[in-house]
Each structure stands twice: as structure tokens, then as C-alpha cells.
Amino acid sequence: MEELKYRNEEEMKESSVEWLGKIPRKWELKQLKYLFTYIKGKNPFNIIPYKEGAAPYITTEFLRTEMTDKYVSSTKGLIKVKENDLLLLWDGANAGEFFIGKDGVLGSTFVKFDINTNDSYDYLKYFAKSYEKYLRRMTIGMGIPHVNSDILKNLNFVKPNNILEQQKIANFLDIKTSQFDSIIFKKEKLIEKLKEAKKSLISEVVTGKVKIVDGEMIERKPEEMKDSGIQWLGMIPKDWEVKRLKYLMEINPPKSEVINKNIECSFVPMNMIHNGIIETEDKKVVKDVFGGYTYFRNEDIIMAKVTPCYENGDIAIARNLKNGIGFGTTEINVFRVYNNTEHIYYLMQESHFVRYGSSHMTGVAGLKRVPTSYFENYKTGIPSIKEQNEIAEFLNEKIIDINNIITKNQSQIQKLKEAKQSLISEAVTGKIDLREWEIKE
């Protein structure tokens, strides 16, 4: 990446806004409410598969992947989105994240921004994205987090008065951020492949298609198998039993067993469960989170119940909780397994389990939830306790290697995103001097 030129100190002034720091003396400071108007999307009456002439229904998945199977046949009364419109995810686990729009219809989890000045829309979009981390940190709401509208309206923007300079900054960022995005995309594709490999390995083992012998996977012979009576599962080992999960665990156990409400506990937001790891927030006192939050304890399995977190496999075994107790948002399901927790933990990551759970989701698009009844009535083959232990031990060893590679790449992606965000912030606040910058072939 080319060496960047920064403005001289004498060209700068204090912005009076902490995170903005110093800005060019001739630049103007304005709040978002004077630059944009925004409108919240609406849920369509009916979402259908693809049909000629139908408009795509805007979801985070569609914006990230450009793929969707959700369409709206009639756009009457709905909020239409055009290519390159600025959108903000208003509620959900990633509330506060900005997106660049695609042609379609906006759902109620998004808002669309329209510019009401003669400034460069491209420049202002980049400035808005520089606030993403702040908006995500400042979300409100006990259950489903959502953007704080008062904070949003009063966000401070700085801008050169010359629209050509604004557009030059936007052009610079178009080129530089695309370089970051290219590297990030490749790493994300690698992570997808690793996750699929992990799911495939788990499926082979927990469905009994292979057995573990001296730490190695051995394919079972036909004479070792029997019909499970479950269409998707097919044949299972003869000594395995078919059981519903409700006979293997307690789902969402009552918090009445917590007697001392004056002790500290760990608090886990829904979006802090990733790749088998739980990130806890600051410790809280039980009495402060007892009402309105979900309770769990050490060795419970916790799993996000809302899309897209459930589909991303946001699941972990709770360990090292403060005083052995944790609380999280109501969008977490808790499973207390009677025997081998780790075996069930891996079973819940099996491809069919996740996919079939997604098909049972209820609620509005983008915020659907897996009902408790799905987990209670899910039937699968269950081996003896001894074999459960062997499966868990084998997968613990194999999966940790895959997870380590995934975590390493996720860390690299995070650093790339932070570097990209830093570049955007320095460009839109005028710290990088782009007045003489020209596009090089």
C-alpha cells in the first residue's frame, strides 16, 4: 500500500468531539440529523421463493452474499432500496452495522438513509461507516439490542465544503477498502471451508457412520448396522438407541435454584458466543440480572436461538463462570445434559441438526427463533456412555486443531477490519491529506 501523506499540525484545529480529535481548520462540523433523513423498513405481508418480477427481500445474508431465496411479489406500501443506498441494521445481534444496499425491499430490521444536502453521498456513507463500532457498542434493549435513535441523530460529521474534495476522499477509500475486502473475502472463504470440514467430521462420528478405534475413524460394516426408523438418519449401529433429546437433558432449567442473589456472576450477551468460546462481559451481581435474563451454570450448553446466530453455530459449553453462575439475554437457550455434555454439544453442531432446526424457526424474517419443542422432540441415535466418552474425546482432539486455524484467521480478519476502519476514520476526518492524491493506473 502506498505511503500516505498527513496534514501539518498548523492546518488542524480541535473538533471538540473526543473521537474525531483534530480536523482541518476549513472543514465544517454538522450532526447527522442535518445531513440525512432515514426511514425504517416494513415487513412484507408475504415472502415467497423466486418469481419473475418479484423484488428481493433485503436481509443481512443477501447483502453479505448476494444470494437469497426470499422475494416479495408486491412492493406496494413497502420501502424500496436501490443499489448503493446506505442502510443500517436497526436491531438484532449486529445492530449498528452499516451496509451498502442492493435493489430490493427493506424489512423492519433495517433503516434506509436519504441525503438532504448537496454533499457527496459517497463521502457521507464512508463517514457514517466510521461510526459503526460506536453505534454497536451503544445499542440499547434488554432482549433484542437496537440502535439508540437519539445517539444516531446527534452523531457529528465533519466535511470539506468542496464537494470535489469529498468525492476524491470517497474515490480513495473505494480503492483502498476494496484491497482490504479482497484479502478479507479470501480468509472468510477459507473459514467457510474449515467449518464445513468440521461439520462433516462431526456428522460422520455422531451419526455412527464411523467408529473410533485406537483414536482412528473406521467405517462400520453393513452387518454392524440397523435401520434407525428416522428417514434422514438412515442406518445406525445395532447397539445404539433412538431417543428424543428431552430424555437426555433439561432444557432452560429454572433459576429458582440460585439461592444467594448477592453473589457475583458472569454475564454473556448473545453475540459473545463464537466457535465454542464464550466471552463474558463485566461481572454482575445476581440480583441485578435475575429478572429478565436467562440463567445457566458451569457445564451447561448455551446456544443462540435467533437467526443468524443459531445458523452460524454460536454454541458453547459454559465453563469458568464467576461463582459457577451465568446469565445472558433471553435469546439464549440452555441445555443441562444428564450424562456426557460434550457428546450432545457435538451432536448439536451436526449439519442436519442445524439445518432442520432452521426449517422449524418461527417469527419475523431476520429474527426467527428455534422453538423449544424442536429440541425436545428431536430424535437421533445415542450410543452407550462409554462410546459417548470415546466420541467426545476423539472430537475434542480433532476439532481443536480446526478451531485454532479458524480462530487465527478470524483474528487476522478482525485486524484487517480494524485497519480498514482506521483508514476510513483518518481519511474522512482530514488527517490524511488527499488534496493532491490522484488515481494511479
Cα–Cα nearest to 69, from 52, 47, 45, 99: 47
Indicate if 144 and 43 belong to the same structural domain: yes
Indicate if 147 and 260 belong to the same structural domain: no
Query: Which residues, other chains included, contact 28 with Cβ-Cβ below 8 Å and sequence gap of 6+?
Result: 158, 159, 160, 161
For residue 438, tell me if it sits in a domain: no
Indicate if 130 and 249 belong to the same structural domain: no
C-beta of residue 104 within 8 angstroms of C-beta of residue 57: yes
Cα–Cα nearest to 37, from 188, 149, 192: 149
pLDDT, residue 257, reads 85
For residue 428, tell me if it sits in a domain: no
For residue 292, tell me if it sits in a domain: yes
For residue 183, tell me if it sits in a domain: no
Domain boundary among 159, 179, 196: 159
pLDDT above 70 as % of the chain? 95
Give me the mean pLDDT over the 146-165 stretch.
93
pLDDT, residue 169, reads 95
pLDDT, residue 269, reads 76
The more confident residue out of 18 and 380 is 380
Indicate if 41 and 138 belong to the same structural domain: yes
- Start-to-end CA distance of the chain, whole Å, equals 14
C-beta of residue 98 within 8 angstroms of C-beta of residue 79: no
Alpha helices in 52-92 (DSSP H): 60-65
pLDDT, residue 380, reads 94
Strand partners, 158: 29
The more confident residue out of 39 and 66 is 39
C-beta of residue 55 within 8 angstroms of C-beta of residue 72: yes
For residue 185, tell me if it sits in a domain: no
Cα–Cα nearest to 194, from 350, 426, 409: 409
Q: Which of the four pLDDT bands, split at 50, 70 and 90, describes residue 175?
A: very high
Beta-carbon count within 10 A of 47 CB: 18
Indicate if 148 and 276 belong to the same structural domain: no
Mean pLDDT of the chain: 90
* Domains: count for the chain: 2
Q: Which of the four pLDDT bands, split at 50, 70 and 90, describes residue 438?
A: confident
| Beta-sheet strands, E only, within 101-146 | 104-106, 110-115
Indicate if 248 and 361 belong to the same structural domain: yes
Rounded to whole angstroms, what are the CA distances from 280 to 219, 269, 304, 414?
40, 7, 15, 19
Indicate if 247 and 365 belong to the same structural domain: yes
pLDDT, residue 441, reads 52
Tell me the per-residue pLDDT of 103-113, one tens digit each, with 9 for 90 and over. Answer: 999 988 999 99
Separation CA 124–CA 418 (nearest Å): 19
C-beta of residue 279 within 8 angstroms of C-beta of residue 257: no
Separation CA 203–CA 353 (nearest Å): 10
Separation CA 249–CA 336 (nearest Å): 5
Q: Residue 349 above 60 pLDDT?
A: yes
C-beta of residue 142 within 8 angstroms of C-beta of residue 294: no
Domain boundary among 351, 382, 413: 382
Q: Residue 429 above 70 pLDDT?
A: yes
- Taking the CA atoms of residue 61, residue 66, residue 69 and residue 70 in that order, the dihedral angle to the nearest 10 degrees is 70
For residue 356, tell me if it sits in a domain: yes
pLDDT, residue 378, reads 94
Structural domain boundaries enclosing 263: 241-382
Domain boundary among 129, 159, 189: 159
Indicate if 264 and 148 belong to the same structural domain: no
For residue 436, tell me if it sits in a domain: no
Q: Residue 152 above 80 pLDDT?
A: yes
Residue carrying the nine cell digits 483474528: 411
C-beta of residue 252 within 8 angstroms of C-beta of residue 372: yes
- The DSSP annotation for 356-368 comes to HHHHT-BSSTTS-
pLDDT above 90 as % of the chain? 64
Tell me the per-residue pLDDT of 360-411, one tens digit each, with 9 for 90 and over. Answer: 888 765 567 888 899 999 999 999 999 999 999 999 999 989 989 998 999 9
CATH of the domain at 313: 3.90.220.20
Q: Residue 168 above 90 pLDDT?
A: yes
Query: Under DSSP, is residue 306 helix (H, G, I), strand (E, B) or coil?
Result: strand
For residue 437, tell me if it sits in a domain: no
Give me the mean pLDDT over the 162-191 stretch.
95
Tell me the per-residue pLDDT of 251-289, one tens digit each, with 9 for 90 and over. Answer: 999 888 888 899 999 998 766 787 778 877 668 899 998
Cell of 38: 432515514
Q: Residue 161 above 60 pLDDT?
A: yes
Separation CA 143–CA 240 (nearest Å): 40
Amino acid at 426: E
Separation CA 423–CA 129 (nearest Å): 12
Give me the mean pLDDT over the 217-225 stretch.
95
Tell me the per-residue pLDDT of 285-320, one tens digit each, with 9 for 90 and over. Answer: 999 989 888 999 999 999 888 765 666 668 899 999
Indicate if 154 and 46 belong to the same structural domain: yes
